[in-house]
A = this chain, B = another copy of it.
């Protein structure tokens, strides 16, 4: 392993000067710089990151915690995040909790041990009690979900408008009984979308019926029960809004299997706009989210925060979504 010392000796300068060359200190005489750079290339010297980090008290590593990689929506966010970290000379450790509480703690420890400079929580569903402390102590950016009265920066779509756009499309098709399959957990995105849904109904002169709003995880079993539960109450369904492409794909599956009792040509709109919405049969009408950009922007905001660049002005950044009409 070569070191500044070795480069210094070979170049006939001090380690300090080598360091200055590496860090583009403008006070170095051009000739000296050239000499040092030559040696660096000659012996293919790369500075030891740990020594650097230890000295600088910063690692240029950030952490991104996602619920899972199994949903291509999150994979898309991770991709964007990766691109942004790379572009800014940072590194990223992406991890998933797979819905385990303990996993979350493991990632936070990366901050506590100084391994990482900051953290991005994607679609975090956790109580403020647990995390308020983390928000106070470390640089944090949220993606998709925000916490009401905490001043943590957040990148998301305008969920109210997204919910509105989706429901509006259905009411404009003349649908009156629009079931809405949400996620199982309370969330800012869920609340926003629900309000948008209600607004669209109201504008179409349709009464809001809470029995049409049901919760389910992205598991065939739960989705089936949730939807059939509505019908068992004697309610009609002539359209469905669903929380994710994945959920929607299971609904189509259930309809085809005849475990969900709905017509195969039912109006169905989902959220996300992943490739899943293209490969189902029929293909899904979906509210596409800018996954890549969500990840990219989250990283940019975190880095901005790390570099204390003029105190981030906007706390919540809304990225545009887009309703894509396909076959459902």
Contacts and interface: CB of A to CB of B under 8 A. Distances in A.
A275 B70 contact: yes
Contacts of A27: none
Interface stretch (A93-101, A146-154, A232-240): A93-101
A286 interface: no
B59 A70 contact: no
A50 interface: yes
A93 B96 contact: no
A2 to B, nearest CB: 11
A304 B86 CA distance: 29
Contact of A48 (B69, B109, B114): B114
Interface in A55-83: 59, 68-70, 72, 75-76, 78-79, 82
A113 interface: yes
A70 B70 contact: no
Interface in A188-238: none
Interface in A278-308: 278-281, 283
A265 to B, nearest CB: 13
Contacts of A1: 114
A92 interface: yes
Contacts of A35: none
Contacts of A46: 109, 112-114
A49 B284 CA distance: 47
B59 A79 contact: no
A324 to B, nearest CB: 16
Interface in A147-191: none
A162 B169 CA distance: 46
Contacts of A106: 86
A38 interface: no
Given A250-B279, A253-B278, A279-B249, A98 B79 contact: yes
Nearest to A77: B69
Point out which of A44, A46, A51, A281 has the most chain B C-beta atoms below 10 A from its C-beta.
A281
Contact of A280 (B48, B94, B115, B280): B280
5 contacts: A46-B112, A49-B115, A82-B96, A249-B279, A250-B279
Interface of A: 1, 44, 46-51, 53-54, 59, 68-70, 72, 75-76, 78-79, 82, 86, 91-96, 98, 103, 106, 109-110, 112-115, 246, 249-250, 252-253, 256, 275-276, 278-281, 283
